[in-house]
Amino acid sequence: MSTSALSYGSASAPAAAPVVPAAPVAAEAERVGFWRAPFAAVTYREIGYVLASMPIAVVGFLFAVGLFSIGVTLAITVLGLPVLAGLLAGARGLGAAERRRAARKLGLEVAAPAPVAKPHAAVFWAAQRARLGDAAGWRAFLFQVVMFPWRMVSFVVTTSVLLVGWALALLPAYNWVFPHYVGWPGYRVYDFTSGGAHHQYYLTSPFQLAAVSLAGLLIVFLTPKLLRALTNVDRAAVRGLLG
């Protein structure tokens, strides 16, 4: 459930001009034009979010799957209950960290779920059973599991597009390196021998370099749109599973 902060003045305080809340990152991203988006701060916040999500997803997945496996294995004994209860408590903690990260990097404010209901009996096993009935904890556990493969895909796609786009766009600036230090007449697209014939192709002419650079610039300017599509999946998951 998305929330927004409202300011309330004291009844005894004099009237003041209304305070305009700071625009969240998501709203800022909507106002960034197509030509400025590749260089806007909000784009780099989303890049940082996607890149950091990969190691975070690995840790969360190993924690969730590892404790779940141990808890299920020990379920035939009473020892499985505290392990699973600890899993759900930890998943809630990871979910809280994810909500804070989404607020800072994606401008997404999501209210925390209600706390776990306290059992009527103040005994250890009653508390464990209450924790196992925590729906928000199970949703947070599911978040760690289902977001692991998605964040791996997002990381690979983002890094590939960023590297390819800027490498192509800046090719005219560093193409001189190949004839001076590598021994190629220009950037080598391919060079192989097949059926006794030698096939090779190098980018050498100004027209070729300009065409490749334009293709790279197109990728660079489309990258913010791709990032928004990728992070929108994260936004939906945070809203649906961590709120």
Q: Choose the weakest-confidence range: 72-86, 144-158, 173-187.
A: 72-86
Q: What is the pLDDT of residue 30?
A: 53
- Give rounded-to-5 percent helix, strand, coil for the chain: 65, 5, 25
Query: Which pTM value belongs to this model?
Result: 0.81
| Predicted confidence (pLDDT) at residue 15 exceeds the cutoff of 60 | no
Show Cβ contacts of residue 7 under 8 Å, excluding neighbours closer than 6 positions.
19, 21
Show Cβ contacts of residue 39 under 8 Å, excluding neighbours closer than 6 positions.
none
Show Cβ contacts of residue 28 under 8 Å, excluding neighbours closer than 6 positions.
42, 107
Tell me if 171 sits within 8 A of 216, measured CB to CB.
yes
Give the range with max mean pLDDT: 26-35, 120-129, 208-217.
Answer: 208-217
Tell me if 232 sits within 8 A of 30, measured CB to CB.
no
If one counts every other C-beta atom within 10 angstroms of the C-beta of residue 55, the result is 11
| Predicted confidence (pLDDT) at residue 27 exceeds the cutoff of 70 | no
Rounded average pLDDT over 165-174: 96
**Residue 218 is encoded by which pair of tokens?**
């197109």
Q: What is the pLDDT of residue 78?
A: 80
Rounded average pLDDT over 29-39: 80
Rounded average pLDDT over 174-188: 93
Q: How confident is the model at residue 77 (pLDDT cuts 50, 70, 90)?
A: confident
Q: List the alpha helices (DSSP H) in 133-205.
A: 135-169, 171-174, 177
Distance CA 77, CA 65 (A): 19
Mean pLDDT, the chain, rounded, equals 86
| Predicted confidence (pLDDT) at residue 55 exceeds the cutoff of 80 | yes
Rg (CA), the chain: 26
Q: What is the pLDDT of residue 2?
A: 42
Show Cβ contacts of residue 134 under 8 Å, excluding neighbours closer than 6 positions.
88, 92, 116
Rounded average pLDDT over 132-147: 94
